[in-house]
Each structure stands twice: as structure tokens, then as C-alpha cells.
């Protein structure tokens, strides 16, 4: 190894000479970084503020009874008990919505991405987008006119309305995952002499399961907090006790918030905030679960 | 791995060795015919050459196919080239056996000189030995065994030179002279067979080392020996 | 010859053990009889007027420059071209006398008898065992499942590698192993024919050599058709070789045609057609 300094070729040095532009670029870079950071902080700050205010305002109402007993009225007109009936009711509604939306959503996704000719698939996709954009109150009125007028309110009616809202979400994400499955799997299955549907059922679907679950959990997170569709379909519920009967209207957390907020007594307001906090927590947990599921399915597909 | 290549190489080598066995039989037949002055046996030796030619062609075609299909490299390539050359040497040796047989037929009516016949028997035995050693060295990839052929070849060369003197000593008798002249050619055939055996030995050395080299070079004689 | 009686027996030299190779049967049974096959994708011609026969228990290689329709051709043999809506097939592909494109023929049944292995190894994202067993389960060959899976993996020279980790995910195998798993998967359902579309082009030389040895072993039981862009590979493994070339049509479009079809030895030592010779010598294409 030589110890003499290397001969610097002047032409090479000239190539990399810095000019004023480098300094300006550096400034612009830093500026952009700063702006991006501020915007991100602002976004996170909004979330933090919302969560903080909800928790702060509802803090007083948290207790074991809050989660384990149904509402009742005290002699003074203050809120007593908790929101057990709402929690149970929300669970029931979400389950009913999933039972309807998940299979239909997956089947639609399979049809659109595997079977349908191009033009038909485009039309269906458009329809799904429109359903996605429907105002939820309109959906509620629709179910009201179709089901509630004849049969009265019920959890099923509410669940159906929620299912309509969740369907495009599930179908869209299922489609995305199905598209991600390599064509080579389909070819391999077919080349073995397996009929098309066996290949879809046995290879394509299991592979996309993770993504489908993700889409489902996202849809659940969305519909759990919908209020408008429930207004006409399951708002006249008995709130003081828990019902698992789907043919009857049930209480739900978003409706509880709505109704309690209109009460005169501040104890109800406090419970409304607390219910909001519970909903937020639910959304947070569900989002985390869906991220975990997505990461796992991605790992399996791309190993 | 490369199962087909290995099978092809094994088959070719086996064919080559079979050809060598045929050459030995031809040589033995030619020598016996010469010793017994048996013209019928000589005819059979001449006809037998077709067998050798058939084998020769088989090996040639096998090598062509192997080169085209298996694209051998390194030691496999050297083996194929060594087999190609050895094939040629074997075929030439067989041709010399045919020549000896033809000469035997030509001297059928003439009176042989028993001492020279005896000498040919020894030269012939030496040539047989050299062929066996050459093929053995090939199979075993034994360079030392191959280089031992040089000394044996020297013995045949000396014997060949002695035959020249003996022919000159035969005297003026025309029948004897004719016989002697033909026998000179026989001697030369045996000497050439020995040379081809040495060539096969050189192929063994090439196969093992990758070097093209003659064991001894007429223009660069080895000292001593 | 009577030489053995009159010539004194010479002590024979030890001849190296010659391994008996199964003779290529001179009586060749035809598996595929391709007659005037032409395929186009919409208006674009892919191959034109191809006719030749593929024989049983032989490896038949399809070689030629890129774009000459080799892949299109092999996919017509098991109706995989059906997957492309614009594909248009004319002519006949007779499999043991039955036209695969006849009106009464079920393509699913075709693909049971004629299996395929693809260029890029594509095992399912399941366990090694389930990869092989899936086809068996779907086709109702569920009896003695373990034995069938084992046999398929043995045939693909993969059993020893994976016998202790059958439940592990197949995607954890190396490329060469994955390809052999795909071969096992295809063989498990007991096809008669195995089509291989450039099976080794995504693999390293050692894995490639393994696949080539495998083809050599498998042809005793199956009929193998292999597409390869590596003509040395065709020279090594194939008994018969078909050379597809490119023909320029009057409207300037190019289509693939069969130039020459013969024993591999002939193609690589003395091809009849100059175009073949130009291709195999590397002077063109």
C-alpha cells in the first residue's frame, strides 16, 4: 500500500465541483422535511386531541358497572348503571352485518376478478363504488321502507343496513388480494386437471384469506360506529335489559351517544363521552388486528 | 449427475477395449499363420479385419455423437480425444496385421529360415505385450505403466535392426532372398505396431496431464537406455 | 465367424463393465399426432401448419429462437391455451387418435392425463405434503394418500431431501427443490405425458443438471415433451428434437413453423435443413 497521496486528476475534480445550487438544494430539502414533519404532527395531534377530550370528558363514568349493567334511571333522573345493553346490541348488529356482507362480498370479488368478462366486471365495480358512496342515512331509509314498515324494527334490519355499508369495503379489499395472488397458482391448479372452482376454493381463496380478513375487520371498524342507518331500523329498543333476539330492535353504542347527548342531565353526557371512548378503543383494537393480519398474509404470499 | 454422459463414455471405452481385444486376436492369428506358413489362416485374418473396421466405425460415430450432444469439457473432453486417437492407432495396428497375413500368403511356397521365424515369434510376443500394456494403462489411467512402453519399443526396434542384418546374411539364393525381403516388411509391420502402442501410451499421458508430449523424440534422442 | 476355432484364444483384457442401456425401441408408439396445427392470438399468428408425431417414452425437445411459438405449441397439447380468450386453434392434435380439440372433449380431463411443469417453479403456498396431496384430493385419488405422496416425491428425486419436513411450507425450499416439488405434484396424479415449459431456465447449473437426470429417469414411465431455449440442453436430454423457426408472412408479420424434426443425434451432427444448421451452430437466431 502506498503512502504517497493519490494523484488527483483535475478533470475528475471539476466534475464534482459544488456550485451555489447545492446549497440551495440543501435548504429546500430541509424546508420540505420540516413542512412534512409539521403536517404529520398536526394530523397525529388531531387524533390525540380527540382521544384525549373523549377520555377526559367521559372519565368519570368509567367503572365496572359501566361495562356490566344496563342503563336505569335513578330517582333523581340521573343515569344509573352502564351500557351493557348497548355493547351487546352493537356486537349483535356487527355480527349480523358480517354474516351478510362477508360471503356476498367475497363471492362478488371472486366473480369480478376470476370469472366475469371485462365489461361486466367494470360495471360491477362501478356499482360497488356507488354503494360505497351512498349516504348512510339513505341506506337506513331504504331498509326502513323495505323491511321495517312491514315487520317493525329489528336487529336484523339494522344489521342489513350495516351490511350494505360494509359490503363494498369487503368486496374491494377481497378483490385487491385476489389480484395479488400470482397467476401461476391458477395455472398450476388447472394444469393438474382440477376444475376452475376447485382451484379457486382450494388454492386462491386460502391464499387470500389474510387479506379478506383484513378487509372484513376494517369494515367492522367502520360499521360499528355508524349511527344514521340505525336511526330508522333499531332505535326503539328496550335499553334497560340485554336482548339477544335479532327480531327485536336492540340498543347500540352510537345510538346511545346520540340519545344521551340530548338528555338534560350531565350524568348522561358523561356516559355519552365514555361510550365514545369505548367505540374509539374498539376501532383502535380492530385496526391493529387488521394490520397484524395483513402483515401475516403478506409474509405468507411473498416468502 | 450427467448420467447419460457417463454412460456414453463408459460404453465408448468398452467398445474401444473390445476393439483392442480384436486387434490382439488378429495379431495372434497373423503370427500363427506366419509361423505355420498357413495361407488359409492368413485369409481368415484378412477377412477378420472387417470386424475391426466395424468396431472402428462404431467408435468414430459414437465419439461424433457424444461431442455433439454432450459437449464434454476438461477431463471428459481429453478422454474423448484420447479415445479418438487410440481408435485410429488400433485400426492401423489391425491393418498391419492384415499386411503381415498378406505377406505370409505371398511367401507360401518359399522355404523359411527357422531362426528368423523364431525371432518373429519373439517380436510378435513383444508387440502383443505392448498392446496389452497400452490398453491396460488406458483403462487405469496409469502414466507410469504407459511410459514403460518406451523401453519395450526399444527392444522391438533393436530386433527389427537385427532382422535387417539377418536378411543380408541369408545369401544370394533368389528364393531365400525373396523370402527375406518379404520378411523385412513383416518385421517393419511389427515395429510399426509397437510404435502405435507407444502412441496409445502417449494418449494416456495426455488424458491424465493434459499435455501433448511425445515420450521420446527422434530428433531429441534420450541419453543412455 | 469361425475365427474363434482356428485362431488361438488370446488372454482377454479386462473390459470395463458395460452398463446395459435400455434400447430405444425401434417400434415407436405414437402418443401425439399433430396435424396442420395453427394457432393465432386474435389477428396475430403464433404458429402455422405444424405437423409431426411425438412418440411414447421418449423425451422430445422443442427448440428455436424466441418468438417462434414453442410455448404456444406445448400449451396446445394440454389445452392450456384455452385460458387465453383470444387464442384460436386450427388443425388437429390427436392424442392416441382422439382430437383434443374435438367438441366432446372435456379440457379438464385432458389436463389430468397430460401434466405440465412451468418455467418458474410455482408450488402452492402450502406445506410440501399438501402441495403433492392437493391434486390427489381434488381428483378423488385419496386412498393411500401417504404412499402416493411418497412415491411422487421419490420419482422427483426429492423424497430424501424433504422426508423429515413434509409439513413445512413449500416456499422455504430452494429453487431447484421447488421445481422438483412441482414435478412431484404433477406426477402424483399419474399422467401419461409430462409437458415441461423451460423447466430449468430459472435454475442454477447444478439444479439444472438434476432436472436433466430426472428427465432421463422419468422417460421410462412417462412421455416427456420439453421446451427449451438452451439447445445444448436439448442435445443432452432429448431423443427427438423439433426445431421451430420463424417465417415472415406476406403481411410482414412473423409466425412460427416447424423446420425440422428428427433424432437429436441427426439434428446436432447432420441437420437436413440449412436453417437448422444455422441455428444449432449459433450462427443465426
For B64-92, the pLDDT digits (tens) are 999 999 999 999 999 999 999 999 999 99
A77 vs C256: which has the higher pLDDT: C256
Q: Would you call C186 and A182 a contact, using CB atoms and an 8 Å cutoff? A: no
Q: Would you call C16 and B10 a contact, using CB atoms and an 8 Å cutoff? A: yes
Which residues does A270 contact at the CB level (< 8 Å), separation at least 6? A57, A58, A60, A61, A79
Q: Would you call C189 and A182 a contact, using CB atoms and an 8 Å cutoff? A: no
Q: Which residues of B touch C8 (CB under 8 A)?
A: 28-29, 32
Look at residue A300 and tell me whether its pLDDT is greater than 70.
no
Q: State the pLDDT at residue C22.
A: 42
Q: Would you call C265 and B65 a contact, using CB atoms and an 8 Å cutoff? A: yes
Q: Would you call A203 and C124 a contact, using CB atoms and an 8 Å cutoff? A: yes
Look at residue A77 and tell me whether its pLDDT is greater than 80.
no
How many angstroms separate the CA atoms of A239 and B48, rounded?
A: 115
Lowest mean pLDDT among A44-53, A146-155, B21-30: A146-155
- Averaged over A12-27, what is the pLDDT? 79
How many angstroms separate the CA atoms of B159 and B167, rounded?
A: 12
Which of B47, B61, B69, B124 is most worth mutating to test chain C (most C CB atoms within 10 A of its CB)? B69
CB A177 within 8 A of CB A241: no
List pLDDT tens digits, range C83-95: 888 999 999 999 9
| Mean pLDDT computed over every residue of chain C | 89
How far A169 CA lies from chain C's nearest CA (Å)? 26
Q: State the pLDDT at residue B219.
A: 60
Rounded (10°) CA dihedral B94, B100, B101, B107: 170
For residue C258, with 0-12 CB atoms within 10 Å meaning exposed, 13-18 middle and 19 or more buried, which class applies?
buried
List pLDDT tens digits, range B154-179: 999 999 999 888 888 887 888 888 88
- Averaged over B186-209, what is the pLDDT? 95
How far C1 CA lies from chain B's nearest CA (Å)? 8
Highest mean pLDDT among A56-65, A172-181, B10-19: B10-19
Q: Check if the interface score ipTM surpasses 0.85.
A: no
Highest mean pLDDT among A59-68, A153-162, A234-243, B207-216: A153-162
Q: Which cell numbers in the block locate residue A75?
A: 330517582
Q: Would you call C265 and B69 a contact, using CB atoms and an 8 Å cutoff? A: yes
Q: State the pLDDT at residue C213.
A: 93
Question: In CATH, which of 1.10.510.10, 1.10.10.10, 3.20.20.70, 1.10.3720.10 is domain A65-302?
Answer: 1.10.3720.10
CB C81 within 8 A of CB C87: yes
Cβ pairs B/C, distance under 8 A: 87
How many angstroms separate the CA atoms of A209 and A211, rounded?
A: 5
Nearest CA among C203, C199, C258, C204 for reference residue C234 = C199
CB C47 within 8 A of CB C244: yes
> Would an 8 Å CB–CB cutoff place B138 in contact with chain C?
no
A14 vs C191: which has the higher pLDDT: C191
Q: State the pLDDT at residue B167.
A: 87
Across the interface, which of C78, C169, C189 has its CB nearest the CB of A303?
A: C169
Nearest CA in chain C to A207: C125
Beta bridge partners of C240: C60, C263
Q: Which residues of C touch A202 (CB under 8 A)?
A: 134, 138
How far A292 CA lies from chain C's nearest CA (Å)? 19
Q: Would you call C171 and A202 a contact, using CB atoms and an 8 Å cutoff? A: no
Look at residue C5 and tell me whether its pLDDT is greater than 70.
no
Q: Would you call C138 and A198 a contact, using CB atoms and an 8 Å cutoff? A: yes
pTM: predicted TM-score of the whole model, two decimal places? 0.80
Q: Which residues of C touch A185 (CB under 8 A)?
A: 122, 124-125
Interface residues of C toward B, Cβ cutoff 8 Å, are: 1-3, 6-8, 10, 12-19, 21, 206, 209-210, 212-213, 216, 232, 235-237, 264-265, 268-269
Provide the 3-class DSSP secondary structure of residue A73: strand
How many angstroms separate the CA atoms of B198 and B189, rounded?
A: 14
Look at residue C12 and tell me whether its pLDDT is greater than 90.
no
Look at residue C285 and tell me whether its pLDDT is greater than 70.
no
Interface residues of A toward C, Cβ cutoff 8 Å, are: 182, 184-185, 187-195, 198, 202-203, 206-207, 300-301, 303
Amino acid at each position: 500500500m502506498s503512502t504517497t497521496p493519490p494523484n488527483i486528476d483535475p478533470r475528475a475534480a471539476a466534475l464534482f465541483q459544488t456550485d451555489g445550487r447545492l446549497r440551495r438544494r440543501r435548504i429546500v430539502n430541509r424546508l420540505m422535511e420540516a413542512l412534512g414533519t409539521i403536517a404529520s404532527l398536526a394530523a397525529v395531534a388531531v387524533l390525540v386531541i380527540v382521544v384525549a377530550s373523549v377520555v377526559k370528558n367521559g372519565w368519570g363514568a368509567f367503572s365496572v358497572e359501566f361495562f356490566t349493567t344496563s342503563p336505569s334511571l335513578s330517582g333523581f333522573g340521573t343515569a344509573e348503571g352502564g351500557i351493557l345493553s348497548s355493547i351487546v346490541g352493537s356486537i349483535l348488529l356487527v355480527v349480523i352485518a358480517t354474516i351478510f356482507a362477508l360471503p356476498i362480498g367475497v363471492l362478488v370479488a371472486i366473480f369480478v376478478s376470476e370469472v366475469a368478462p371485462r365489461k361486466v366486471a367494470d360495471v360491477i365495480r362501478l356499482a360497488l363504488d356507488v354503494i360505497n358512496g351512498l349516504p348512510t342515512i339513505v341506506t337506513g331509509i331504504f331498509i326502513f321502507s323495505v323491511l321495517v314498515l312491514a315487520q317493525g324494527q329489528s336487529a336484523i334490519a339494522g344489521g342489513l343496513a350495516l351490511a350494505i355499508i360494509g359490503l363494498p369495503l369487503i368486496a374491494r379489499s377481497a378483490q385487491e388480494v385476489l389480484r395479488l395472488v400470482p397467476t401461476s397458482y391458477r395455472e398450476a391448479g388447472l394444469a393438474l386437471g382440477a376444475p376452475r372452482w376447485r382451484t379457486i376454493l382450494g388454492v386462491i381463496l386460502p391464499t387470500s384469506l389474510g387479506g379478506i380478513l383484513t378487509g372484513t375487520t376494517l369494515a367492522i371498524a367502520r360499521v360499528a360506529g355508524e349511527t344514521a342507518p340505525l336511526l330508522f331500523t333499531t332505535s326503539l329498543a328496550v335499553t334497560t335489559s340485554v336482548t339477544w333476539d335479532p327480531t327485536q330492535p336492540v340498543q347500540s353504542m352510537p345510538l346511545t351517544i346520540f340519545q344521551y347527548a340530548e338528555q338534560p342531565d350531565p350524568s348522561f353526557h358523561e356516559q355519552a363521552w365514555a361510550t365514545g371512548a369505548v367505540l374509539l378503543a374498539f376501532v383502535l383494537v380492530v385496526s391493529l388486528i387488521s394490520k397484524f393480519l395483513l402483515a401475516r398474509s403478506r409474509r405468507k404470499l411473498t416468502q | 449427475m450427467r448420467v447419460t454422459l457417463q454412460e456414453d463414455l463408459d460404453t465408448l471405452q468398452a467398445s474401444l477395449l473390445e476393439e483392442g481385444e480384436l486387434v490382439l486376436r488378429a495379431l495372434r492369428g497373423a503370427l500363427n499363420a506366419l509361423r505355420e506358413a498357413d495361407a488359409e489362416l492368413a485369409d481368415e485374418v484378412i477377412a477378420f479385419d472387417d470386424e475391426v473396421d466395424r468396431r472402428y466405425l462404431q467408435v468414430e460415430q459414437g465419439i461424433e455423437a457424444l461431442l455433439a450432444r454432450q459437449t464434454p469439457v476438461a477431463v471428459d473432453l481429453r478422454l474423448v480425444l484420447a479415445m479418438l486417437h487410440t481408435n485410429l492407432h488400433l485400426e492401423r495396428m489391425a491393418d498391419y496385421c492384415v499386411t503381415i497375413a498378406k505377406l505370409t500368403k505371398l511367401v507360401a511356397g518359399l522355404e523359411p529360415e527357422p531362426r528368423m521365424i523364431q525371432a518373429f515369434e519373439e517380436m510378435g510376443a513383444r508387440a502383443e505385450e505392448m498392446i496389452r500394456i497400452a490398453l491396460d494403462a488406458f483403462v487405469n489411467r496409469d502414466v507410469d505403466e504407459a511410459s514403460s512402453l518406451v523401453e519395450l519399443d526399444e527392444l522391438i526396434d533393436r530386433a527389427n535392426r537385427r532382422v535387417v542384418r539377418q536378411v543380408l546374411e541369408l545369401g544370394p539364393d533368389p528364393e531365400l532372398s525373396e523370402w527375406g525381403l518379404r520378411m523385412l516388411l513383416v518385421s517393419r509391420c511389427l515395429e510399426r505396431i509397437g510404435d502405435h502402442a507407444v502412441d496409445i501410451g502417449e494418449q494416456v499421458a495426455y488424458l491424465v496431464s493434459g499435455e501433448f508430449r511425445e515420450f521420446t523424440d527422434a530428433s531429441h534422442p534420450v541419453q543412455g537406455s | 465367424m469361425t475365427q474363434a476355432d482356428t485362431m488361438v484364444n488370446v488372454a482377454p483384457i479386462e473390459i470395463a463393465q458395460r452398463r446395459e442401456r435400455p434400447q430405444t425401441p425401434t417400434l415407436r408408439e405414437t402418443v401425439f399426432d399433430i396435424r396442420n396445427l395453427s394457432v393465432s392470438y386474435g389477428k396475430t399468428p403464433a404458429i402455422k401448419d405444424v405437423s409431426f408425431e411425438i412418440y411414447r417414452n421418449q423425451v422430445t425437445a422443442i427448440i428455436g429462437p424466441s418468438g417462434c411459438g414453442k410455448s404456444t405449441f406445448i400449451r396446445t397439447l394440454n389445452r392450456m391455451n384455452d385460458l387465453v380468450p383470444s387464442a384460436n386453434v386450427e388443425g388437429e392434435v390427436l392424442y392416441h387418435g382422439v382430437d383434443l380439440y374435438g367438441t366432446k372433449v372435456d379440457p379438464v380431463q385432458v389436463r389430468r392425463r397430460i401434466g405440465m411443469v412451468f418455467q418458474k417453479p410455482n408450488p402452492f403456498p402450502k406445506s410440501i405434503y399438501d402441495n403433492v396431496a392437493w391434486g390427489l384430493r381434488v381428483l378423488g385419488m385419496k386412498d393411500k394418500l401417504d404412499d402416493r405422496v411418497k412415491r411422487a416425491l421419490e420419482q422427483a428425486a426429492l423424497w430424501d431431501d424433504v422426508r423429515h419436513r413434509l409439513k413445512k411450507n413449500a416456499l422455504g425450499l430452494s429453487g431447484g427443490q421447488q421445481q422438483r416439488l412441482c414435478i412431484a405434484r404433477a406426477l402424483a396424479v399419474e399422467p401419461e405425458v409430462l409437458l415441461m415449459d423451460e423447466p430449468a431456465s430459472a435454475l442454477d447449473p447444478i439444479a439444472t443438471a438434476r432436472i436433466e437426470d430426472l428427465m432421463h429417469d422419468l422417460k421410462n414411465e412417462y412421455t416427456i415433451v420439453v421446451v427449451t431455449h438452451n439447445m445444448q440442453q436439448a442435445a443432452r436430454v432429448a431423443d427427438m428434437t423439433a426445431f421451430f423457426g420463424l417465417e415472415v408472412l406476406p403481411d410482414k408479420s412473423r409466425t412460427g413453423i416447424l423446420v425440422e424434426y428428427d433424432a437429436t443425434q441427426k439434428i446436432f451432427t447432420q441437420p437436413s435443413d440449412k436453417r437448422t444448421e444455422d441455428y444449432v451452430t449459433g450462427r443465426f437466431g
